[in-house]
Amino acid sequence: MMSEIPRPTSRDQFRIAILCALRVESEAVETIFDELYEENDNRFGQDPSDENIYRNGRIGHNYVVLVYMAGIGKCKAMTTTLHLKLSYPQIQLALVVGVCGGLPYGNDGRDIFLGDVLVSDRLVQWDIGTLLPNAFVHKDGPQYVQGRPCRRMETFLAIVKTPDERRRLESLMAEQLEMVQQSLGEQSTTYPGEDKDRLYPPDHLHQHRNLRSCGKCRSCGECEEGNICRKALISTCDELGCSDHAQSCRYRPPGKTYSTPKPALHLGPIASGDTVLMSGDARDQLAAETGVIGIEMEGIGLWEETSCVVIKGVADYADCHKTKQWQRYAAASAASCTKALLLQYTMEPPRINSTGKTPVLHRNVQAGLSRFRFPVHSVLDPFAKVARVSRLSSISDTIKMVDAFHTSSSLWTKVFIVVLAFLVGYLYASVGAAPDEGYSHQLWP
């Protein structure tokens, strides 16, 4: 049984952030928190320059801040992360959670199906390159491939890649998914069905096939054979008869143990960029060149600012048959995977004393005292008393005198100012200012 975990008292105690670009994604993530602190609780505050919207809470032993992005794409992600670091400077790991397009096959030979969850071990920026007359050649230099996550997460993911650990996490994911579905309502996040999970050949287009003899589309009179019109893009595969005209079509086999298949976990590189990929041929070519197992749009915007891992549910196969039918279920799968991972993963524990207060050394005192050094170690304890009462407004006068120590040119003046600053500070500490309980000080690095 998990012992009671005290609430944080400072933004500096948060080490993990979860970023969501779509409302359907953040709604799923909200359900996995073991504790969500009051929405109107303003105790943590926010940097005046920070325009983000947050929810603070706890998942397992980790204090986590949920970040609501203003939109999709790497630019929105970069701006959001820059603002995040203003208010939460101690964030060590960012998780980008939501939905993505998936490759049909993983690097380990396993099939990837809709609703499965992809976890990145690195990111590839795929939409920067050269557009030639008949092809787009993306740049694949090391500067376009993100480094590994932080060492602790890298080690953790290496363990998750082992078959036994992966299967254990998949079992935990299935349990968490049921809880997410109960919280959101099973009707909104229910599994759409194996018959709706269709993978068409990469060259099989999502288009009208009722053509006139001239090759023009009878439905709109504009598109020609081999092209896709806007009207077709908003039509379903059933309406267009994609399955009837496909030479082959992969369906997900029924689950053997469960009434419905449970999401599988796949780890590998994920492509990230601003472009929505809706081409089976381009998807397969990208996978052949880079080895990615999925395509998403936000992760690349974070890599310059913080260590990040992308956790996304597969909502489509990144082809022209893309549909939003699977988004809610895929978002719920990604959220359940995030919960399963965070229950096993723990950042460096935040420093909280027995009273629940966070010991904070007054920045002005720390700055003033760090400007000079004394060779005699025995004076540390009296100065610690001065630091303990740093919240007294009058101590700023002491600091001003310490500052004068550096500007004075007379040796005796310097000695006098140091002695006077010490005596005044010691007097403040001795006349009844009680030290904070549990305070631990460190005046010198």
- On the question of pLDDT at 402 being above 60, the answer is no
Confidence class for position 187, pLDDT limits 50, 70, 90: confident
Q: What does the pLDDT read at residue 66?
A: 97
Q: What does the pLDDT read at residue 222?
A: 62
Q: What does the pLDDT read at residue 146?
A: 66
Distances 68 to 31, 54, 79, 120, 332 between C-alpha atoms, Å:
15, 6, 12, 21, 16
| Pairing state between β 53-59 and 62-68 | antiparallel
Confidence class for position 225, pLDDT limits 50, 70, 90: low
Q: Which two tokens stand for residue 257?
A: 């143990």
Q: What does the pLDDT read at residue 148?
A: 63
- On the question of pLDDT at 95 being above 90, the answer is yes
pLDDT tens-place string over residues 149-166:
777 788 888 888 899 999
- On the question of pLDDT at 345 being above 60, the answer is yes
Q: What angle do CA 199, 145, 135 make, to 5 degrees?
A: 55
Confidence class for position 278, pLDDT limits 50, 70, 90: very high
Count of other CB atoms within 10 angstroms of residue 88: 25
For residue 338, what is the enclosing H or E element? helix 327-344
- Do the beta carbons of residue 194 and residue 46 sit within 8 Å? no
Confidence class for position 232, pLDDT limits 50, 70, 90: confident
Sole residue written with tokens 């004068």: 404
- On the question of pLDDT at 425 being above 80, the answer is no
Task: Find the mean pLDDT for residues 162-186.
Answer: 93
- On the question of pLDDT at 255 being above 70, the answer is no
- Percentage of the chain beyond pLDDT 70 is 70
Task: Find the mean pLDDT for residues 177-185.
Answer: 94
- Do the beta carbons of residue 362 and residue 390 sit within 8 Å? yes
Q: What does the pLDDT read at residue 359?
A: 37
Q: What does the pLDDT read at residue 267?
A: 95
Q: Return the higher-pLDDT residue of 378 and 140.
A: 140
- On the question of pLDDT at 174 being above 70, the answer is yes
- On the question of pLDDT at 396 being above 80, the answer is no
pLDDT tens-place string over residues 260-275:
899 999 999 999 999 8
| Cα separation, 6 vs 217, whole angstroms | 65
- On the question of pLDDT at 311 being above 80, the answer is yes
Q: What does the pLDDT read at residue 190?
A: 93
Q: Return the higher-pLDDT residue of 245 and 322.
A: 322
Provide the Cα torsion 231, 233, 234, 239; round to 10°.
90
Q: What does the pLDDT read at residue 358?
A: 38
Q: Return the higher-pLDDT residue of 387 and 298.
A: 298
Confidence class for position 281, pLDDT limits 50, 70, 90: very high
pTM of the model: 0.74
Q: Return the higher-pLDDT residue of 426 and 111.
A: 111
pLDDT tens-place string over residues 312-342:
999 999 999 998 999 999 999 999 999 999 9
* Torsion over CA: 194, 195, 201, 204 (sign): negative
Task: Find the mean pLDDT for residues 273-298.
Answer: 93
Sole residue written with tokens 């993983």: 106
- How many CA atoms, within 13 angstroms, populate the side-chain half-sphere of residue 152? 13
pLDDT tens-place string over residues 18-73:
999 999 999 999 999 999 987 655 678 889 999 999 999 999 999 999 999 999 99
| Cα separation, 237 vs 229, whole angstroms | 14
User: What mean pLDDT, rounded, does the chain reach?
Assistant: 78
Amino acid making up residue 226: G
- Do the beta carbons of residue 293 and residue 268 sit within 8 Å? yes
Q: What does the pLDDT read at residue 136?
A: 75
